[in-house]
Chain A
Amino acid sequence: MVENRPFLNVLTHLVLILGVAVVVFPVYVAFIASTQAPGTFFRGVTPLLPGPAMVENYAHMLTEGMSTSGAPPLWLMLINSTWMAIIITGGKIAISIISAYAIVYFKFPFRTLAFWIIFVTLMLPVEVRIIPTFAVVSNLGLLNSYVGLTLPLIASATATFLFRQFFLTIPDELMEAARVDGAGPIKFFKDILLPLSRTNIAALSVIMFIYGWVQYLWPLLVTTDSRYYTIVMGIKRMAAYADQQPQWHLVMAAVILAMLPPVLVVIFMQRLFVKGLVETEK
């Protein structure tokens, strides 16, 4: 469409640059802070230009951490977070895709009931059932374990619904052709459905990885042993101490490291990320 409005074009870019600035600024400030030498934060305002201690700060945090806060070195927490995110991602996708398969390609008594039970998970976020869920995990002896960290978060109505939606768009004839070709339910799932779901699985993985990484309340509840701390919950502990002993340069190094993995995933897998996000919430 021909539209010759230079003023509007300038305004558009102005709005966007301002928006990007607002979005990026806190992270910029955090990064600058993470490069400062110790002592910078005893007085005066946060500097806006990089300091000299970037390498030392990050190295210190990765290998030793802030021992005063009782948190372990960052490398351990980063590994824990990575494990947690990966297990949750894999688990959610695995159990959701087979649930959706059962619901779409089979008819059996209590099918609708099963669907509603899965649906119910949407209505019960962990935040509203903290104590009894904690009690269950504690009774099962799952505190301070990867199982306890991940298993209760693996149920997923959104992922199940996404796969259900996707399966419903696959032409019926494909399954019929496969049956005529001699494929049973397992073979059809493995040979046809799974390969066709590749893009959806990838898109969902991006979203679920982020979901797993940013978990905060749940690790806070089920881990008391610092060996199982995740980075996102560990940061809170450090920040709480930073106010007493101004070690903001170290805390901000941890903040940057805690953000980096999922943010990089979003940036480098933007197409899958957008697809996953927009489709799971339908």
Chain B
Amino acid sequence: MARIEISGVSKVYPGNVEAIKDLSLSINDGELVVLVGPSGCGKSTLLRMIAGLETITGGTISIGETVVNKLEPAERDIAMVFQNYALYPHMSVRGNLEYGLKNRGTQRAEIDKRVADAARILEIEAFLDRKPRQLSGGQRQRVAMGRAIVRQPKAFLFDEPLSNLDAKLRAHMRVEIRRLQRALGTTSVYVTHDQLEAMTLADKLVVMNGGVIEQVGKPLDVYSDPQSLFVAAFMGSPGMNLIDIESLRAIGADLPGSIPTATGTVGVRPEDIVLEKPAGPHLTIAATLDAVELVGSESLVYANAKGIEKDIILRSSGIHRGNPGDVLALHIPHSALHSFARESGRKVAAA
């Protein structure tokens, strides 16, 4: 078990494509860190650099006390779970679990014990002698996890391990991975593009975009206090409503006096918009209803306000009964407003 320290790391591919730009990140012992971002943001590249599958162009990565820049993947004492599981198709489940231990010259008795333990924890004892192709997707996923666990490595690296599963199984495995990681207390880095997965799994959430870190923090902090436009829009489904402040001024919305002067865009989460007039200070936008998506437990209401380009989305619990063309008054409490700077898109604090 170990800390992972990433300092000033960059990755430049041939042809001067910069995938990671001067990135620093500390991962504490036993922590589950989730790297999340859209495809091409560099999250997988970063993970593969920690694993030793990509070379490091600049900066250093250390696992425990050792700088691992020049070490082979096998020498870094990490284990990895791949998106397509990468199980050795010609070996039995047992063979897959044993392979890494055998290569390290682990004693037979120790191998048997670890395999038995892992199989018990993951409930794959019944399949130990089957080949991977005889297993379902969920079972393969467990074997891939098992292959990581038996190694008792310093760190687990997960590369979108659940994205090949169907939605139900994915939700289930998410909980299991969380439970397992807690129980083992192994430092883990987990890459996903699914922000829901990121929110539910992470001790520490790292939102990446364009090869840099946009924000690091506890999942809820990142959600409720996004530090940039990108994070505001990326986290949450649907993401935050982002409205140009000038268009709000133009329709005479009642903006709070305390709003910072540098503000170019204001944002509001769909669940913070209400249809009944709230008690505290707020602003109100008149809009016409465009469409309603009924999700069951809640409804997403798409409304179009004159002078505002994009639809404003609001989330209301229960079933919203309304028809397109209905006129709505959208109330936004001043306390729910987020301000982002005009040029940089970074959050600006209230004056």
Contacts and interface: CB of A to CB of B under 8 A. Distances in A.
A177 B86 CA distance: 6
A178 B85 CA distance: 12
Interface in B77-111: 78-80, 82-90, 99-100, 103-104
Contacts of B147: 177, 181
Given A179-B53, A180-B51, A173 B82 contact: yes
B84 A182 contact: no
Interface in B140-193: 147, 151
B239 interface: no
A183 interface: yes
Contacts of A174: 86, 88
7 contacts: A177-B86, A181-B74, A182-B74, A187-B103, A191-B99, A192-B90, A196-B90
A195 B82 contact: no
A176 B73 contact: yes
Contacts, number: 59
B298 interface: no
B53 A182 contact: no
Interface residues of A, number: 17
Interface in A160-217: 171, 173-174, 176-183, 187, 191-192, 195-196, 198
A179 B85 CA distance: 14
Contact of A177 (B80, B90, B104): B80
Contacts of A198: 90
B221 interface: no
A198 B80 CA distance: 27
Counting chain B CB atoms within 10 Å of each CB, the highest count among A174, A176, A182 belongs to A182
Given A181-B100, A196-B89, A171 B84 contact: yes
A174 to B, nearest CB: 5
A182 B82 contact: no
Contacts of A182: 74, 100, 103-104
Contacts of A176: 51, 53, 73, 80, 82, 86
Given A173-B86, A174-B88, A191-B99, A180 B78 contact: yes
B72 interface: yes
Given A174-B88, A178-B99, A180-B53, 6 more contacts: A176-B86, A179-B52, A181-B74, A181-B147, A181-B151, A182-B74
Interface of A: 171, 173-174, 176-183, 187, 191-192, 195-196, 198
A183 B90 CA distance: 16
Contacts of B78: 180
A183 B103 contact: yes
Contacts of B86: 171, 173-174, 176-177
Interface string B48-91: 00011100000000000000000011100011101111111110
Interface residues of B, number: 24
Given A182-B74, A183-B74, A196-B89, A177 B103 contact: no
Contacts of B88: 174, 177-178, 191-192
A180 B151 CA distance: 10
Nearest to B90: A195
Interface in B13-72: 51-53, 72
Counting chain A CB atoms within 10 Å of each CB, the highest count among B86, B90, B103 belongs to B86
A173 B90 contact: no
A169 to B, nearest CB: 12
Among all A-B residue pairs, the 7 with the closest Cβ atoms: A181-B100, A173-B86, A182-B103, A182-B74, A177-B86, A173-B82, A195-B90
B79 A180 contact: yes
Nearest to A191: B99
Contacts of A178: 88, 99
B83 to A, nearest CB: 7
Nearest to A175: B86
Contacts of A171: 84, 86
B103 A181 contact: yes
Contacts of B103: 181-183, 187
A178 B90 CA distance: 13
Contact of A179 (B72, B83, B87, B90): B72
A173 B89 CA distance: 12
Contacts of A187: 103
A179 B104 CA distance: 12
Nearest to B89: A196
A172 to B, nearest CB: 9
Counting chain B CB atoms within 10 Å of each CB, the highest count among A177, A196, A198 belongs to A177
B103 to A, nearest CB: 4
Contacts of B89: 196
